[in-house]
Chain A
Amino acid sequence: MTASDTERQHTADTASILPLRVRDICFDAGGKRLIEHISFTVHAGPCLIVLGPNGAGKSLLLRLCHGLLSPSEGTVEWVEADPIRARSQQAMVFQRPVLLRRSVAANAHFGLRLRRVPRLERQAVVAKALRQGGLSHVANRAARVLSGGEQQRLALVRAWALQPQVLFLDEPTAHLDPAATRAVETLLKQFHAAGTKLIMTTHDLGQARRLADDVIFLHRGRLLEHSPADSFFAQPHSAEAAAFLNGNLLW
């Protein structure tokens, strides 16, 4: 391999898959339109929070962006033309941590093994990720007997070990108590500081205020606002968002 080849490969590995362009997507299920003509662009950098009441379509939107669902209309495009590489640079953490019936360490290894990362490198990455997640001391325990907070941290660590450029998070703290929520948020801030793009749904306003740089506000499958967090929280444009911020928007 020549020097220029090495360099090219290096560029290929680090080239950003962002921006993500969502163009006029709709999503129908069971004869109902659940997502209605949503368009937005996501750039690298700021932490994006998708906010809205229950049933607004937050989780759906995340799954559409990540490619777990296909839109009924419209397109979801990464700037990265190779879909396999685009996918390999994304990871997702779900509301309920989906852990394998194996040890904590084996869970963390799983994604890397799928990507054929050599064992020695894998061990180094996993050890570091577990340390970061504060899970080193339980590495050999069965993953599914951990506490809810530890399980979700493991799900984060497993995603983080893949070193994704974009990390999707679907209400990762919805089932956690305040202390566990804080631990997850601390971890998320570390990921963000390391340069990972976070795209996260929540209905927890406090959490949104703590983490958001940008906000997308959804209501009944429509995108009502997409603005920087400061201006969204200070002065929402739509009546629905204002009502939601005041706790008056029920659904």
Chain B
Amino acid sequence: MSEFRDAFRTAISLLVNFDGDLMAIVGLSLLVSLSAVFLAAMVGLPLGAAVAACRFPGRQAVRVLLNALLGIPPVVIGLIVYLLLSRAGPLGALGLLFTPTAMIIAQWLLVTPIIAALTQQTVSDLHDEYAEQLRSLGVGSLRAIPTLLWEGRLSLLIAVMAGFGRAIAEVGAVIIVGGNINHVTRVMTTTIALETSKGNLALALALGMILLLLALAVNAAALVARDIVNRLYG
């Protein structure tokens, strides 16, 4: 038990002293996950809205695909990206494997379906409400997409936060395509996995606490956003 207490004490001191290694790991985690979520939102928001508001051939197929991808385990995404980026793979020439870019690609693939599926749900509800009025005003279904996205802006912010929560917390994909190389591709979750297995609990605990704080912050922000929606827009 005293071993845990010591680990806990060390963890706190690492946090309080802004330990260099710790901060580098947290920084890379944020860089990778925020980039991935930004790119996922660029694709997922319009894609989800298009599936919800437009009728096009293959729409049902896209819907099924999106929902199926929701449940795909991160390790499988990691494996697919690994195969694509490895030397012998189709994108091997780019030399991206075991770089932060590879991790961004993997998390982007992981998060895009989440954002797209949640967007589809939100925009679909809005579309039911607005479709007739928009058509009456002469808005075509393509032009309706930005309008509907803007109308759902706060719910969609929550969708994006959910995507961020998934990205920052996953370990399977980034450990496969990043390789957990010290000072290069080591992020919070992969470090926790490694340090725990090495018995170095202090660093793992410090990172665990940061992840927990981030999760709390994201959820609190989501709650606040929802509260604002309800108060301002009914």
Contact = CB atoms under 8 A, between A and B. Distances in A.
Interface of A: 63, 66, 68, 84, 87-88, 90-92, 94, 98, 100-101, 110-111, 114-115, 142, 144-145, 162
A63 B139 CA distance: 16
Interface stretch (B27-35, B126-134, B188-196): B126-134
A68 B151 contact: no
B137 A111 contact: yes
Given A88-B138, A110-B137, A114-B137, A101 B132 contact: no
Name the interface size band of chain B: 10 to 19
A205 B97 CA distance: 75
Given A84-B138, A101-B153, A114-B137, 7 more contacts: A63-B132, A92-B136, A100-B147, A101-B232, A114-B139, A144-B234, A162-B137
Given A68-B132, A94-B132, A101 B233 contact: yes
Contacts of A162: 137
A98 B133 contact: yes
The 4 closest A-B pairs by CB, nearest first: A98-B133, A144-B234, A101-B233, A92-B136
Interface string B202-234: 000000000000000000000000000000111
Given A142-B233, A145-B233, A114 B138 contact: yes
Contacts of B132: 63, 68, 92, 94, 98
Contacts of A88: 138
Nearest to A88: B138
Nearest to B135: A68
Contacts of A87: 138
B143 to A, nearest CB: 8
Contacts of B138: 84, 87-88, 114-115
B67 to A, nearest CB: 27
A100 B136 contact: no
Contacts of B130: 98, 100
Interface in B53-107: none
14 contacts: A63-B132, A66-B136, A87-B138, A94-B133, A98-B130, A100-B151, A101-B151, A101-B233, A142-B233, A142-B234, A144-B234, A145-B232, A145-B233, A145-B234
A66 B132 CA distance: 11
A101 B138 CA distance: 19
Contacts of B147: 100
Contacts of A101: 151, 153, 232-233
A247 B135 CA distance: 36
Interface string B172-203: 00000000000000000000000000000000
Nearest to A87: B138
A144 B233 contact: yes
A144 B230 CA distance: 10
Contacts of B139: 114
B37 to A, nearest CB: 24
A98 B234 contact: no
Contacts of B133: 92, 94, 98
Contacts of A110: 137
Contacts of A90: 136
Residue of A92, A98, A111 with highest tally of chain B CB at under 10 A:
A98
Residue of B132, B151, B153 with highest tally of chain A CB at under 10 A:
B132
Interface string B135-150: 1111100010001000
Contacts of A91: 136-137
A101 B147 CA distance: 10
Nearest to A142: B232
A57 to B, nearest CB: 17
Contacts of A92: 132-133, 136
B228 to A, nearest CB: 11
Nearest to A66: B136
Nearest to A143: B233
A236 to B, nearest CB: 32
Nearest to A141: B232
A142 B85 CA distance: 50
B212 to A, nearest CB: 33
A145 B136 CA distance: 23
A104 to B, nearest CB: 12
A100 B148 CA distance: 9
Contacts of B153: 101
Contacts of B135: 68
A161 B233 CA distance: 23
B233 A68 contact: no
